[in-house]
Structure 1
Amino acid sequence: MNAISPAIQQTSSDEIDLAALFRALWEQKLLIVLVTVLGGMLAAAYAFQVTPVYQVQSVLRPAAIKDLDALNRTGVYKLAPAQAMKRVGATVESYDTRLEFFRANQGLFEALRQPNRSLEQTFERFNQEAFKMLLPDPKKADNLSAYVGVQLTYPQGVDGVALVNGLVEYSVQIERERIAADLAVVIQNRLNQLDAQMAAARASYEASKDAKIAKLQEADSLKRANLQDELKALRQQLKTRRDNRVAQLDEAVRIAKALGISKPATPSSLGEAERVAQGNVIRTEVNNQQIPLYFMGSEALEAERNALLQRRSDDFTEPRIAQIAKELQLLANNRQIEMLNKRESEDLFLKDLASWRGEAARLRNLNVDVSSLKLVSIDQVALEPLRPIKPKKALILALGLVLGGVLGLFIALLRNMLRRTPSRNHSSQLNVAA
């Protein structure tokens, strides 16, 4: 019985301690309220003294097709709206671009300067922590259109709106300059290619013309040689024919003199040479055999022979010689070769030269105003934020009050425990004595 009663007394004392605990906390309510208020005041002091942090962003979308039509109509440079947006986005993301923009606009970053750090070192840290690229989630299929953006988180004192908008405009301008440089190089390369094609065409034309002239000259030389050979052969043939005729006439003259034929005669007239003619007699002789040459009479034969011996040329006896002379005269001047050599504007005879010249003239007269080229559509321009994203004052104040209240309760409990410890020790001594 004596062993059980302390346990019952302990349980009763515990229940009495819980009620006493609430009474003790209620008695120290002023302390709890003061600590809670102090926590709230400290939280409020932190919330209102910490430097506010703001956030702005700019979103870019693809430009319209008509905005890039002037560039694409050049025929030498193609740029789709999506490609233009990606190029601008890559330029915005580029560290070099941001560093160049920083160096060109150091006044925008002056508020970030810290002791013992150069402005470049300050920008290095700011670039890593403050900038964030906005891209569509590739895992989501409900993205209506492509976009790219840049988000900036910056402390109070920095003109984040001017910084973001200026960076975007600076990046667009850099891409315009790059496109202008690329376009100039592409046009110049195309012009060099056209010049090379025209030079090659001229060289090919000169070679083909020289080959054609050489071919014509060779054909004329060959034809001239053949005609001269034919003329020489004909003259030799005519000379041989004349010599043969002279030999025949010599023989016929000897026969005619032996027969006493001095005048032209016929075989039948030889038998009647001594017959006296009475009246006018007309004789007709029909003979199907060729009459020997000596019947022409020695006088006629000698006359023909003397004429043949005195002849200096037999060309007139052969019509082909006159024709050969005509052909040789025509070969003396090849009019086709003369016309080829007299061509003043040989470019007119080059194939495709007119189209190449037209293309070169078109490229030289291209006037694309790249400085006003709209590469992207700025869907969202960075605007002055209405409130900072940090600190969240209401949340900090609430947390300060909660923590202050918890701390106040803890202090009150601690005081109550310290106060009850002596009394418990005294009661324990009394129980031991009993």
Structure 2
Amino acid sequence: MSSSFRVPPVSPSDEIDVFALTQAVWQQKWLVMLAAAGVGLAAAVYAFVATPEYHVSSVLRPAAINELDALNRSDIYKLPPSAALKKVGASLESYDTRLGYFRENRKLFEEFERPGRTLEQSFEEFNADSIKLVLPDAKKADSLSAYIKLSMNYPKGMDGVAILNGLIAYAITLERQQIAQDMEVIVKNRLSEIEGKLDAARASYDNTKEAKIASLTEADTIRRAQLQDELKAIRAQLKTRRVNRMAQLNEAIGIAGSLGIRKPTTPSSLGESDRGGSSSMMRTEINNQQIPLYFMGVEALEAEKSALSRRKSDDFTEVRIAQIGKELQMLEANRQIEVLNQRKNEDLFLRDVEPLRAEEARLRHLNVDTSRIKLVTIDRLALEPLAPIKPRKVLIIALGMLLGGILGMGLAVSRYFFSLRKSSGEKMALSTVPVALEAPAFNGSSDRLDDRR
């Protein structure tokens, strides 16, 4: 039995003929040139239609030491040049500083304002993309000095130079004002501290003065009481002495009367009178013993007794009483207390306050003109750029033509492979023919084989 079927077409070779491909692309060079010209033209249109973008920058460096000398010599606010540069840099980077500058100069930022946007939203667009702050890399040792670079990209129609220079001036002005406010607060705090110390010195002086007055008054009171007690004791002593003297006189009068002594006499004279001696004789008596009182005679003794009985005060008999009276009279008025109470300007008598007064006078007459302080040196101001940085027309056109050429070559290669596949398919269709095959015999089992089929 025989059967027929078609032989499957033989697949074309997967190898690419580079020479044939190159020839095919060269034959379609006009397509490549046309694509390159078209894309290049579109790139040229974009390059000339796009809004130009410009770039400006400014560099700040630390100020000279003499520029901050007046501020540092005030002994109130210490600000080295490096710290001043950092303060200005922090202000330039501050959101509040930029927003404040944006609000005060809205005419310069009309390009960023859009209908339906708030002021903060318009500022956010400007703040996020336009201004960049560049600091020196701390890891690099080749930087000769510290600096701060402020750069800005802006579209055509904006005054970027005025914006950048104005922002720097605005930040410096803000920092000067902040320094002035800080100094004012510091001076007020120091004056308050000095005033507190002076008040403490005044309170201490008042306490010392009152304590001294109290001490003087107490001492005078004690001394007065002591003198009065002494005076009273002396007078009592004198009175007792007078009474005792009168008792002695009474006793002596009795003895003199019993001896018949009327006039003052001596023991020797009394003995001679008893012997009846001549009265014209003069005697000299030397005796180291005290003559008894009754030898004064009754007349003298009674006269003394009468005088003592009539005495009203014995003060004149004691010198100490006069001295006590003098001291008591002096204690009636303490001149030191009077002088202490009559002081008008007691601040002159405060102790250890001369440095405080000198510091207070210095602070009150401190005159540091912060508006003239040069915090930083503007090493390079922002200048009007000579050409935009975007778009770069030549580069855009060249890239456009390059991309167009690549696109054209891709189209040419695609057309080549498409035509190649089409021609290969036609050849395979023509080469397909029927083939007859004779089935082998199976020894009388052909009917069975046909049935199985």
Which position in structure 2 is the counterpart of 1:341?
Answer: 341
Which position in structure 1 is the counterpart of 2:83?
Answer: 83
Which position in structure 2 is the counterpart of 1:42?
Answer: 42
User: How many angstroms does 1:84 deviate by?
Assistant: 1.5
CA distance, structure 2, for counterparts of residue 270 and residue 31 of structure 1: 187
Stretch deviating more after TM superposition (78-87 or 351-360): 351-360
Describe the SS at the equivalent of 1:387.
coil
Which position in structure 2 is the counterpart of 1:199?
Answer: 199
CA distance, structure 2, for counterparts of residue 19 and residue 79 of structure 1: 77
Describe the SS at the equivalent of 1:76.
coil
Question: Once the two structures are superposed, what CA deviation does each residue of 1:100-157 show, in whole Å capped at 9, x if it has no partner?
Answer: 1111111111112334433431221221122222112122233322222322222222
Superposition map of 1:233-248 within 5 A: 233-248=233-248
Which position in structure 2 is the counterpart of 1:3?
Answer: none
TM-score, scaled to structure 1: 0.91
CA distance, structure 1, for counterparts of residue 363 and residue 118 of structure 2: 49
Kept in 1: contact 2:132–2:151 (CA 8 A): yes
Which position in structure 2 is the counterpart of 1:181?
Answer: 181
Stretch deviating more after TM superposition (17-26 or 405-414): 17-26
Change (3 A) 1:213 1:279: closer
* Residues 1:190 and 2:190 aligned together: yes
Change (3 A) 1:270 1:200: same
Letter in 1 for 2:153: T
CA distance, structure 2, for counterparts of residue 14 and residue 90 of structure 1: 67
Which position in structure 2 is the counterpart of 1:128?
Answer: 128
Change (3 A) 1:91 1:18: closer
CA distance, structure 2, for counterparts of residue 268 and residue 126 of structure 1: 143
Question: Once the two structures are superposed, what CA deviation does each residue of 1:67-122 show, in whole Å capped at 9, x if it has no partner?
Answer: 11122222222222222111111111111111111111111111123344334312
Kept in 1: contact 2:54–2:156 (CA 8 A): yes
Stretch deviating more after TM superposition (391-400 or 401-410): 391-400
Kept in 2: contact 1:62–1:84 (CA 8 A): yes
Letter in 1 for 2:291: I
Letter in 1 for 2:402: V
User: How many angstroms does 1:14 deviate by?
Assistant: 6.3
Kept in 1: contact 2:112–2:125 (CA 8 A): no
Change (3 A) 1:271 1:420: closer
Answer 1 or 2: higher relative contact order, Cα 8 Å, separation at least 6.
2
Which position in structure 2 is the counterpart of 1:118?
Answer: 118
Which position in structure 2 is the counterpart of 1:383?
Answer: 383
Change (3 A) 1:304 1:423: same
Kept in 2: contact 1:43–1:397 (CA 8 A): yes
Which position in structure 2 is the counterpart of 1:289?
Answer: 289
Superposition map of 1:276-425 within 5 A: 276-278=276-278, 280-425=280-425
TM-score, scaled to structure 2: 0.88
Stretch deviating more after TM superposition (417-426 or 48-57): 417-426
Question: Once the two structures are superposed, what CA deviation does each residue of 1:32-56 show, in whole Å capped at 9, x if it has no partner?
Answer: 1111111211222222222222222
Describe the SS at the equivalent of 1:403.
helix
User: How many angstroms does 1:275 deviate by?
Assistant: 4.0
Q: What is the RMSD computed on CA atoms of the aligned residues?
A: 2.3
CA distance, structure 2, for counterparts of residue 169 and residue 328 of structure 1: 82
CA distance, structure 2, for counterparts of residue 154 and residue 181 of structure 1: 35
Stretch deviating more after TM superposition (290-299 or 363-372): 363-372
Kept in 1: contact 2:165–2:381 (CA 8 A): yes
User: How many angstroms does 1:241 deviate by?
Assistant: 0.6
Kept in 2: contact 1:89–1:149 (CA 8 A): no
Is the radius of gyration larger for structure 1 or structure 2?
A: 2
Letter in 1 for 2:176: R
Q: Which runs of 5+ in 1 are unaligned?
A: 1-5
Letter in 1 for 2:372: S
Count of matched residue positions in the alignment of Structure 1 and Structure 2:
426
CA distance, structure 2, for counterparts of residue 81 and residue 56 of structure 1: 25
Describe the SS at the equivalent of 2:154.
strand
User: How many angstroms does 1:412 deviate by?
Assistant: 1.5
Stretch deviating more after TM superposition (134-143 or 113-122): 113-122
Stretch deviating more after TM superposition (164-173 or 82-91): 82-91
Kept in 2: contact 1:256–1:297 (CA 8 A): yes
User: How many angstroms does 1:201 deviate by?
Assistant: 1.9
Change (3 A) 1:340 1:31: same
* Residues 1:232 and 2:207 aligned together: no
Describe the SS at the equivalent of 1:150.
strand
Which position in structure 1 is the counterpart of 2:254?
Answer: 254
CA distance, structure 2, for counterparts of residue 248 and residue 14 of structure 1: 173
Indicate the percent of aligned positions where both proteins have the same amino acid.
57
CA distance, structure 1, for counterparts of residue 416 and residue 115 of structure 2: 50
CA distance, structure 1, for counterparts of residue 55 and residue 154 of structure 2: 6
CA distance, structure 2, for counterparts of residue 94 and residue 14 of structure 1: 66
Which position in structure 2 is the counterpart of 1:269?
Answer: 269
User: How many angstroms does 1:354 deviate by?
Assistant: 4.0
Which position in structure 1 is the counterpart of 2:449?
Answer: none
